[in-house]
Structure 1
Amino acid sequence: MNIRVISAIALLCLVWGSLWGLVKHSLLVFPPFLFISTRLILAALTLMVLQLILRKSILPQHGEWKPLIISSLLICFGFYATQTFAMQFVDSGLSAVLVFTMPIFIGVLAHYFLNERLNAQKVLGLFSGSLGLIAILWPQLHHLHMNVSLMGQVVLVFSGFFWAMATVYIKKNFATYDKIKLTIWQLLMGGSAILVGALIFEPIDFKVWLNPLNESMLFYIAVIGTGIAFVLWNWIVSQVDTFIASISIMCVPILSLLFGYLVWHEPLTVNILIGAAFICLGIFISALRMKVPRNRVIYSSNQNR
């Protein structure tokens, strides 16, 4: 990876690491689906202004609408909507850990759709990551009964799965596409659809929305944490292997746990720490590049002659 990609990854990790606690706090203030739809639309409109300043095209061509709609559904409904719903019942740091099982799912999906082979090393990583999930969910699994916390944790894992699907789909269909234009329509179409439902079912309290502190928090989450950050993510995915891209941002849940503990006073239980360690170990194992012994390479090349 070159310095531009490394810098983009570092910036993205810092932004997303600080975001989870703010989103959790926002869900105590705003109705969840009005919040997520406003977040997505505000991010898209900001990027649209940026695209105009850069004097680049905004409207997709006729044949581009179908893949953009599919991408938007995966990101906005599969990832953002499910994540926002589930975070009402789960702490921000734990939410980040569960959503960032995404690289484990990418390991499987990329094997079938991007020809990134799933070898024994990646399988071992997947097994370690699965142990991490069991450790985190163990208090609920040990005395299994349906409650909103367990439901939220399961939904967050599905959110990570949909994010993985979206990432693989973007890599396959938008590798050379304008990343700002891609993000605009991903967020705008899905956000507008969610907004319609939110306006029907959720109340609007203008005092909440016009509060300067709430507005500044929403601005950071929407413009920096969603719009700019997702442009960076889509660009990173286009520059490197999807699995490596997903592995490279795995410090985000660790930062989120730290911010959640220090800023938002969220508990760090032994189960969460053990689970996070196994998940990170699994992802590290999956990403580790094993060196093939030189004599084996020579033997293999001789066999192929």
Structure 2
Amino acid sequence: MNIRVIGAIVVLCLVWGSLWGLVKHSLQIFPPFLFISLRLILAGLTLMIVQRILRKSILPAKGEWKKLIISSLMICIGFYATQTFAMQFVDSGLSAVLVFTMPIFIGVLAHFILKERLNTQKMIGLVLGTLGLIAILWPQLHHIHLNLSLMGQIILILSGLFWALTTVNIKQNFASYDKIKLTIWQLLIGGCVLFSGALIFEPIDVQVWITLLNDSILLYIAVVGTGFAFALWNWIVSQVDTFVASISIMCIPLLSLFFGYVLWHEPMTLNILVGAAFICSGIVASSLNIKMKKKTIIPLPCK
């Protein structure tokens, strides 16, 4: 792994690690669904410009639209919209940890849908991930009563599940598809659906949208945190083994906890630290591909 790849991984982890706090901050300024829809649309348009610079096709073929719409609704409404809604009630660092249970869910889904065997490493990952979720939710489970914080945490876990479902869907239906073009239409279709609904149900305060600082944060989240980061991630995957790339970004939930604690003064309780450690260990364990060496039996010569 050369210095350029290492540098790109560091930049990506810092961008995505710090993004959760900025999103949480933005939800205190912007209406949630107007914010997420504009983020998706701006990111999609950014990738469209990148695709144009690369001189690659942008418009899908006629028969591809149905699958693209289904995939877009899964990622934009099932993942982004639920995540954005839930983050109004949960700290940014904890949100990242709960959403990053996605690789653990993939282990189970791939076993039943993609017929990829649920091996020992994935089973260990599922157990560790479950223990992590129990540790994080323990204060609410110990004195169980429905509140906005618990509801937000459960929705964030479901958001991770939808992310996993979308990933499996992409592997099923878009294995050889241009990934930048796929993401362009995933973001634009779902973003426009959410934008239409937001215009109907959410208030529009013009003063909020014409503030330079607010617009700068939105542009950073959309263009850098979504569009640029996605392009950078694609480049990293093209340079190194996919497994190495996946493991290299597993520090993002921990970085999110760190940034949330230092920059946004979010509490760092013992149960969150223990739960985060279990979940990150579970993600790494479920991603490992350890091959057991079979003992070779050398036959004895016949007498």
TM-score, normalised to structure 2, is 0.90
Q: Tell me, yes or no, if the aligned pair for 1:103 and 1:246 is still in contact at 8 Å.
A: no
Map 1:193-272 → 2, pairs under 5 A:
193-233=193-233, 246-272=246-272
> 1:38/1:198 Cα in 2 relative to 1: closer, same or farther (>3 Å)?
same
1:43-78 CA distances to partner (integer Å, 9 max, x unpaired)? 111222222233222110012112211211111001
Aligned to 1:303: none
> 1:173/1:248 Cα in 2 relative to 1: closer, same or farther (>3 Å)?
farther
Q: Tell me, yes or no, if the aligned pair for 1:33 and 1:195 is still in contact at 8 Å.
A: yes
Aligned to 2:40: 40
Q: Which stretch shows the higher mean deviation, 221-230 or 206-215? A: 221-230
> 1:234/1:143 Cα in 2 relative to 1: closer, same or farther (>3 Å)?
farther
Map 1:1-305 → 2, pairs under 5 A:
9-233=9-233, 246-293=246-293, 296=294, 298-299=296-297
Distance 1:118 1:245 in 2: 21
Distance 2:287 2:48 in 1: 35
Query: What is the DSSP-based 3-state SS (H/G/I as helix, E as strand, rest coil) of the residue aligned with 1:56?
Result: coil
The alpha-carbon deviation at position 286 of structure 1 amounts to 2.2
Distance 2:230 2:67 in 1: 17
Aligned to 2:301: none
Q: Tell me, yes or no, if the aligned pair for 1:106 and 1:242 is still in contact at 8 Å.
A: no
Q: Which amino acid aligns with 2:214?
A: N
> 1:228/1:116 Cα in 2 relative to 1: closer, same or farther (>3 Å)?
farther
Q: Which stretch shows the higher mean deviation, 103-112 or 28-37? A: 103-112
1:177-202 CA distances to partner (integer Å, 9 max, x unpaired)? 22221111000000000011100010
The alpha-carbon deviation at position 285 of structure 1 amounts to 2.3
How many residues are treated as equivalent by the alignment? Answer: 298
> 1:7/1:74 Cα in 2 relative to 1: closer, same or farther (>3 Å)?
farther
The alpha-carbon deviation at position 125 of structure 1 amounts to 1.5
Q: Tell me, yes or no, if the aligned pair for 1:176 and 1:238 is still in contact at 8 Å.
A: no
Distance 1:201 1:230 in 2: 30
> 1:270/1:151 Cα in 2 relative to 1: closer, same or farther (>3 Å)?
same
Q: Which stretch shows the higher mean deviation, 144-153 or 112-121? A: 112-121
The alpha-carbon deviation at position 168 of structure 1 amounts to 1.7
TM-score, normalised to structure 1, is 0.90
1:236-284 CA distances to partner (integer Å, 9 max, x unpaired)? 6788888776544221100000000111111100010010011112222
Identity of aligned residues (%): 74
Q: Tell me, yes or no, if the aligned pair for 1:128 and 1:278 is still in contact at 8 Å.
A: yes
> 1:244/1:75 Cα in 2 relative to 1: closer, same or farther (>3 Å)?
farther
**What are the ranges of 5 or more consecutive residues in structure 1 without an aligned counterpart?**
301-305
Q: Which amino acid aligns with 1:58?
A: I
Q: Tell me, yes or no, if the aligned pair for 1:86 and 1:156 is still in contact at 8 Å.
A: yes
Distance 1:180 1:291 in 2: 33
> 1:45/1:290 Cα in 2 relative to 1: closer, same or farther (>3 Å)?
closer
Q: Which amino acid aligns with 1:204?
A: I
Query: What is the DSSP-based 3-state SS (H/G/I as helix, E as strand, rest coil) of the residue aligned with 2:296?
Result: helix
Q: Tell me, yes or no, if the aligned pair for 1:17 and 1:252 is still in contact at 8 Å.
A: yes
> 1:291/1:182 Cα in 2 relative to 1: closer, same or farther (>3 Å)?
closer
